[in-house]
Structure 1
Amino acid sequence: MSELIFDRIAEIGFSGRDRYGRSICKVNVDGLDINREQLVRGMAWMYRRYTVDASYDAAEGAARAAGRGLWRDSLAVPPWEFRRRD
């Protein structure tokens, strides 16, 4: 991701907070939706509770089908499941 965002101006669209008080934001750099790009590259899970953009689901599905990024690891654990373990 660093080649996409390093030393560039990011536009941050705040849309609220999650139940832990963390900011929910959409990040754009040079017109590119960085949130979606992370999904496309298999670098993130989509948390459906806070996502309204249907293209995010498609991006994650394509990465999963192609085995990109975290989808290469059959033992990868989503963050919400990891938190439940502790």
Structure 2
Amino acid sequence: MDEQIMRGRVYGADHDDPDPGPRPGRAYAELVGGPLDGLLLDVTGRSARQLRDGAALRTEIGRYGPGGHAAYGPRAGDPKRWDWQGDTP
């Protein structure tokens, strides 16, 4: 995995976590654009279909505020980076 990606903060990590970075033995995708830009998403154990379909990730900082979601999907030709596709309620 890319050295720069290895130093990122993992989506869902507690804000007080002294080590919010990736864990050994896990697979990650970097979130690109949108409200979660730069975070890492743990994709360990996801099926091929789930990896292809992407994910709607809960976030309070998107267009819809608390309870909203940011949609991300794998970038064509670079599945280690997931691009923002918009916000949903």
TM-score by length of 2: 0.24
Normalized per residue, the structure richer in strand is: 2
Greater C-alpha Rg: 1
TM-score by length of 1: 0.25
